[in-house]
Amino acid sequence: MIHADIDESEFGKIIRPHVSLHGNLEHTLHALIAALMDGHIPRFDDWALQAAALGRGLPSDRVEDDQLSATDVMDAFFERIPQDAIVTTDVGQHQMWAAQRARPCEPRAFVTSAGLGAMGFGVPAAVGAQFAFPERAVFAVTGDGGFQMCLGELATLRRYRVPVKILLIDNRNLGMVRQWQELFYDERYSATNLSDNPDFVAIAQAYGVRGLRASSRDELESAMRDFIEHPGPTLLHCACFPEENVWPMIPAGATTDDLMEAKT
C-alpha cells in the first residue's frame, strides 16, 4: 500500500503503508504517472491475463430458446459500438452486465452512478455527455424501471436534436430487487413486477423519436445494427427473459470468498 500525504503525521495512524510519499499531491501524482508511462506493472501481468480470461467466461443463466437473453443483448451491443463511444447506464441488473463488458478506450467513456442507486440517471447523463462531446456516439443503457423515471427526456432528444441512442433492457421487473428477493427472501416478491409495462416503442414514436424492437435472437442482430448506425435519436426496446439473474454477485455483508456464480 502506498500512502501519499502532505501531512507526514498521517502516515501509519491506522494502517502502516508499505511506502509513504510525503509532499504535494499534484507533484506526487505526476511523478507516479511518469513512472508508469509504459502502461503496465510487470508483477501484475499474470493477474491481468487471468482477469481478462475470467471476463470472457462470465457465468450466466440459461434462458428458453425462444427468449431473448439480456446478456446476449449486451454482448451484441458492446461488440458493435464505436471504439470511442460514450456509454452511460441507469441502475439495476443492466448496469452490472454493462460494467462487466465495457472496455472504454479512455477515462470517462463509461459513465455510471455505481452504487448510489440513482434510478433515472442513465438517459439524462447521456444527454449531458452528448452536449459535451457532440462529435462522439453516446449510448444510454437503461432498464424498464429506471427509464420510466425519465421518459420525458425523449422530448429533450427530439426538441434539441440530441442523437443519443437508448438501449432499453425490458425484463418486466425491477430486476436487481427481484433477484435479491428470489435468492435471499425465499422468493417473496414485492413491488418488483412490471408485467404491465407500456409499449415503449409507441411512446418513443409519440415523442418523435425513432423506436425499434427486438424480442428474439433472430431479430437482435439486424435491430442492433440499425440502432447503432442510425444518425438520430433512437430507442431499441429489447424484450428480455424476466427471470435472468446477473452473476457473479456477493451477498450483503459477505466477502469475495462468498461469491455466488449461480442460484444454490
Which run of H or E residues covers position 121?
A: none
Average pLDDT, the chain: 94
- pLDDT for res 264: 82
What burial class does residue 112 get, using C-beta atoms within 10 Å of its C-beta: 0-12 exposed, 13-18 middle, 19+ buried? buried
Give the pLDDT band (50/70/90) at residue 176: very high
Three-state DSSP state, 195: coil
Question: Best-predicted range by mean pLDDT among 1-10, 223-232, 249-258?
Answer: 223-232
CA distance 190 to 43: 48
- Closest Cα partner for 207 from 159, 250, 246? 159
What ranges do the domains of the chain cover? 2-39, 62-239
Q: Alpha carbon of 245 to those of 18, 89, 183: distances in Å? A: 40, 18, 10
What tens digit of pLDDT does each residue of 34-54 get?
888 766 677 777 887 888 787
CA distance 133 to 137: 8
CA distance 164 to 11: 47
Cell of residue 32, nine digits: 507516479
- pLDDT for res 39: 64
Half-sphere exposure of 257 (CA within 13 A, CB side): 2
- pLDDT for res 93: 98
**In sequence order, what are the residues at sequence separation of 6 or more whose Cβ sits closer than 8 angstroms to the Cβ of residue 97?**
70, 71, 74, 169, 246
Q: Which of 29-38, 110-119, 167-176 has the lowest mean pLDDT?
A: 29-38
What tens digit of pLDDT does each residue of 182-196 get?
999 999 999 999 999
CA distance 184 to 186: 6
Which run of H or E residues covers position 58?
A: none
> In the predicted model, what is the mean pLDDT of residues 147-154?
97
**In sequence order, what are the residues at sequence separation of 6 or more whose Cβ sits closer than 8 angstroms to the Cβ of residue 5?**
11, 20, 21, 22, 25
H helices present in the chain, as ranges: 25-35, 45-55, 70-80, 93-101, 122-132, 144-147, 153-159, 175-184, 200-206, 217-229
Cis peptide before 248 (omega within 30 of 0): yes
CATH superfamily name and code, 62-239: Thiamin diphosphate (ThDP)-binding fold, Pyr/PP domains (3.40.50.970)
Contact yes or no for 73/142 (Cβ under 8 A): no
